[in-house]
Every structure is written in C-alpha cells, then in structure tokens.
A = this chain, B = another copy of it.
Amino acid sequence: MREEKDRRVTCQDLDITGGFWKEKQELFRRVTVDAVYDRFEETGRFEALNCSWKEGMPNKPHIFWDSDVVKWIEGAAYFLLKQKDEKLEAKVDDLVGRMEKQQWEDGYLNSYFTAVEPEERFQRRTDHELYCAGHLIEAAVAYAQATGKKKLLEIAEKYTALIDRVFRQEHSAAFDTPGHEEIELALYRLYEYTGKESYRELAEYFVDTRGTSDRDGTYEFTDQEHMQSHLPVRQQKTAEGHSVRALYLYSAMADQARIDQDEEMAQVCRTLFENITRKRMYITGGVGSTHRGESFTFDYDLPEYTAYNETCASIALAMFCRRMWLLEADGRYADCAERAIYNTVLSGVSLSGDSFFYENPVAADPARNAFNASRAKGLQEHLPILSRVKVFDCSCCPPNLLRFVGSIADYMYSVSGNTIYAHCYMDAEGEMETSAGRMKLKQETGYPYDGNVRIITETEGTCAVALRIPAWSERWKVSVNGERVEAQPRKGYVFIEREWKCGDCLELELDMGIRFWESNPRVIDTCGRVAVTRGPLVFCAEGIDNEEIPLRDVRIDPKQEGVVREKRLEGTVLPELELDAAVREETDELYLTPKKKRKTVKLHLIPYFAWANRSVTPMTVWLLEEIRPENK
C-alpha cells in the first residue's frame, strides 16, 4: 500500500531541458550561486564555521548563520547534480571540512554556540539550533545524492544521533521541541534516504510533542502561537504564528501522514491547507500578512501595502503543497504551489539573479516609503523595501531560493500505482518507476507563458498519465497523437490510460486567456477591485509602464479580452498585457461630486514576479473594477 502511494519523482530523476526553468536555472548557475556565496563570505558566515571568534572580534557569529551556510550547500548540490563544477565542489568541500573539524566529539555541531556560548547548548528553545540541524540534514542528503560524497552525511547523522539521545531518550535538553521547525521535515527526508527507523521516530516525536510540553517557552515578545505550540498539532485548525515555521511544520506533518498512513494527521493537514488557501493567502500565493512576528493573522486579513509575504513562506507553502499531493491526488495542491512559485517565490529574486526581496507586498507606494525614510527613526514604521538588495542581516531567503530553483523539478511528477501524475508543467525529461514498470517521459512546453504542453513517451508501457487541469483554465483540450481525447477531470486531473508506444505524444492545451478575479467580500482591503492573471501568473501594474495613470484609481472592466505582447526586460522576454482602462479627470479638489466622465487609457501590466526590476515606482496587483455601461 504505502509503496503504491509513495513513488516520488524528484530532481534526481529529471533533467530540465529548456524553457522558462532552464533559463532560470542557468541564471542561477551563472549568477546566484556565487552571488549568495560572495555575500555570505563577506559577512563572515563561512569564517564563523572555524569557531575561532572571540569577544571583541568583528562578525560575531549569529545563531542562524549555520542554516544560511548549509542552505547554500544544499542549493549548490542541486546544481552540481546536473553539471560537474570542480570549483564549486571544492568550495562546498572546504566548508564541509570546516564543519568536520568543528564537530564535537559527541556529535554537536553549531558554530554560534561552539564559539560564543558552549555552555548554553540545547538550553534555549528560541535559538535555532535544531533549525540549523534540520537544514544541515537536508544539505547532507542533497550533497550525497549530487556527488556521492558522504562526509557531510556522516556529520549530519552523527549530530542527529546526539539529538535523538538528548531530546528523545534522555530529555536532557532544557526544552522539548524546536522553536523554529525544520528538523522534522529534514528527519523524514533523512529517513526516506537512509531507511533508518530512528529518524522517522525522532521526527514523529518532535511533531507530536509540540504543543504539549511545559518546558517549551517562547520569546518574551511573542506567544506560543508564534511557534505553533499553542495546541498539540493534531488539534490545530488554523494557520497561526510565524508563517515559515508553520509551513515547515505542516510539511513534516504531511510527510508523517503519508509515511505513517496516519489519517488523523492527514485530516489536520487538509484543514490547515483549507484555512490557508481559503482565508489567509494572497492571490500571489503569499502568506503571513504582517511583519509583526512574520506571521499569519486572522481570516480574510490581506492588506496590500504592508503584506509581509516572506519569500521563504511561499517556498514553504509550495513544499507543503507538494507533500500534500504526495499524500493524495487533488489538483488544488498544485494550483496552490504554482500560485506561490510563479508569483511570490519568483518575486523574491531580481531578473538579474543577484538581488532579493524578503517581503513581497502586493502594492507599493514610493511616496509613503520616501516620507517614512525622511522621518526621525522614532517615528518610522516598518514598511516593505521597494528595491531588492544583495543580502539581508537575516538572509534566509536568498539560499532558500537557490535550493528551490535548483530542485524545481521536484514539483513536476509523482507516481501512484500505475498512474503518473503531472503536477507542474515544465520542459524536462526523465524516467520514473510505476507499478507497471519504468516510464521515460519528455515534456515540452512554453509554460507559464504558453498553455500548450506535450508529453512524449520515450519508453513503452501501459499506465495512466494524470494531467493536472489548473483551476484557472476555463477551457482545455487533451489529445494523443493529434486525436482529441474526451475526459472528465477528477479532482483536478484528467487520466489518460493506455498502452503507450515509444514516441506517443500526449498533448494538453490550456486556456491562456486573460482572467480577472475578485476577492471574497470579507477581504476588506480589496473589495471593489480585481486582479488580473494569465495562466499561473498574476500580473501587476507598475508606474514606470503607466506614466500619469493613478494606479489605484484606474478602472478596468473585466468584460474584455485584452492584448498580450512581448516585453524585453533585463535580458529576458516577458508577456505584457494591455487592457482598456479608464481614469477620472485630474482635479485640485480633495472631495468632489462623483462624475461619470472618464478618460480612456491603455493600462500595461507585467508579471508580478518581475516587479521592481527597473526603478522604485508605484505598483499594484488589485485594480478598481468598473463595468462601463457600453459594455453592459
């Protein structure tokens, strides 16, 4: 049974061969891998691994620096997996060597505590030790898979053994579960890679102990919700607290539900997924509405200008979704993952690949930011920055993007029995094991800019291919070798089962018409407004493309088809939408009698992920809706 459900197809099995993700991965290989490395080098994150810092020296190690280092290693591993690069591998090996030296006799490994407060190890729940350990485990698995080198894996397993002893057997740490989740999903990953039961048991222990321990404190400034410890996880029904922590936890819970066939846990995951996607998620797949605690807030609270929408949170949302579709087939999981990936995740990195957003608001008002910056520090408010930067003090997002883009093919397929599920469409080729034998598939598509997807079988076999029909696609067509196939989707997938010959071509045509979306009437911030999408991409209007148009006041009638053009931006070609729109007349009055008179203008939109790549300029995703009488 379990084996039936659980044939993941990963970036190990698939090569990205072209299109959108090939371009992105090549940019990352060429620019981002080094850009993140160089910033980390400059800021002392690698130096910290030597554990030679002493009071009074610059670059005091920080409690989460280790996670930055190993996330960079994990990212590098995915690029090494596909292309030998001795220089890059040497950099990783150097870092691994430093970690090996640093590791304590008993397995402990943490550059901050080792150098700064060795007596405080495993004493403070809020200080990210197990979070760093989780990322170490993930990096170790990825690097072993990429290069066959096992040293980092040995380091990680040695440390894991210590953690198991201290936390699960002896309970000798000062707390019971980590303040920042991550190790749970990493332990499931290590379990699935090594098959060792103790890792599964430790993961389960951490997941099920959460919210039950009196010894589990929190920061002084916050509450137990912040760390999802307000209730035992099986009793949680709404997404609460720090959004990245929450989604890393839910990812582990989904792993647990699948691996243990734990239906109760599966139901908790479904409930949390529903709460997020029906009440607490931006249309861009951003989550965590507020910078205060980087957290989820309350149902339907989705303010635009102050949306926190951390890049890492949307990565984590995609991770949770993938684990949900490994648990059970439902197109909504991949719909949600795509929403996050193509919008907020990609907004996190510049088109040039070397600058990053931590926060991804859905509207930008440079006038407010400028005023805020002009004020005395004591009067400033927290606002999202409007221009990407090379590195952050808390620089979790850049290496997270690196590992995410490097392993994007993880999001393509899964196998259940003799069915191959195609979740997210991209150009890639690879083999996968089904209950009816191995199948090799090659996928070609212009996705996300074009809705045609061709899957060519490169082996023979009798199996089903389940094609996901994204919820945004009103019409769609499936054909095999040019012949239309009639099929009804079940839970978001159409199933094409046949005896495939080598060279058969399964084709899906999705509806790439421009679509308009309202938000639920309870979302008080966007009532009266519509968002514009095409395919999986949310679009936005930027001031730089729409000079003299007041973006918050421009009105669009959703009864229009719009025009799609190509736009060249920072070395890539993007779709640009042109819509008929209307604006009110300019006036000097502050309050005035409503007039129906409108000036007709053309409004230009670009994909949301490409915003803020040229200058600091106003931006909005949500546009006023106004149905003009002549279109009635």
Contacts and interface: CB of A to CB of B under 8 A. Distances in A.
B624 A527 contact: yes
Highest count of chain B CB atoms <10 Å: which of A371, A584, A593: A593
Interface string A364-389: 01011001000111111100000000
Contacts of A55: none
B515 A593 contact: yes
A553 B377 CA distance: 37
A559 to B, nearest CB: 9
Interface string A474-513: 0000000000000000000000000000000000000000
Contacts of A593: 515-518
A281 interface: yes
Contacts of A220: 378
Interface residues of A, number: 67
Nearest to A530: B594
Contacts of A376: 221-223, 226
Contacts of A624: 527-528
A163 interface: no
Given A219-B378, A379-B292, A587 B629 contact: no
Interface stretch (A56-64, A199-207, A293-301): A293-301
A625 B584 CA distance: 13
A106 interface: no
A277 B590 contact: yes
Complex copy number for this chain = 2
B531 A552 contact: no
Nearest to A551: B524
A565 interface: no
Interface string A7-48: 000000000000000000000000000000000000000000
Secondary structure type dominating chain A contacts: loop
B368 A298 contact: yes
Nearest to A520: B590
Contacts of A522: 550, 553
A219 to B, nearest CB: 7
B221 A519 contact: no
Contact of A553 (B223, B527, B531, B589): B527
Nearest to A305: B524
Contacts of A550: 521-522, 524, 527
B295 A521 contact: no
A221 B377 contact: yes
A583 interface: yes
Contacts of A591: 283, 517-520, 531
A596 interface: yes
B222 A371 contact: no
A206 B583 CA distance: 47
Nearest to A533: B591
Contacts of A627: 596, 629
Contact of A378 (B221, B516, B520): B221
Interface in A96-129: none
A632 interface: yes
A214 interface: no
Highest count of chain B CB atoms <10 Å: which of A293, A515, A550: A550
Contact of A587 (B367, B521, B553): B521
Contacts of A529: 528
A290 B368 CA distance: 12
Interface string A170-182: 0000000000000
A516 B553 contact: no
A509 to B, nearest CB: 20
Highest count of chain B CB atoms <10 Å: which of A380, A523, A524, A586: A524
B278 A518 contact: no
A594 B520 contact: no
A555 interface: yes
Given A292-B381, A528-B626, 20 more contacts: A223-B376, A277-B590, A279-B590, A281-B590, A293-B375, A295-B379, A298-B368, A517-B592, A517-B593, A518-B593, A518-B594, A520-B591, A520-B592, A521-B550, A524-B550, A527-B552, A527-B553, A527-B624, A528-B529, A530-B594
6 contacts: A278-B588, A519-B591, A521-B586, A528-B529, A528-B626, A629-B629
Interface of A: 219-223, 226, 277-279, 281, 283, 290, 292-293, 295, 297-298, 301, 365, 367-368, 371, 375-381, 515-524, 527-531, 550, 552-553, 555, 558, 583-584, 586-594, 596, 624-627, 629, 632
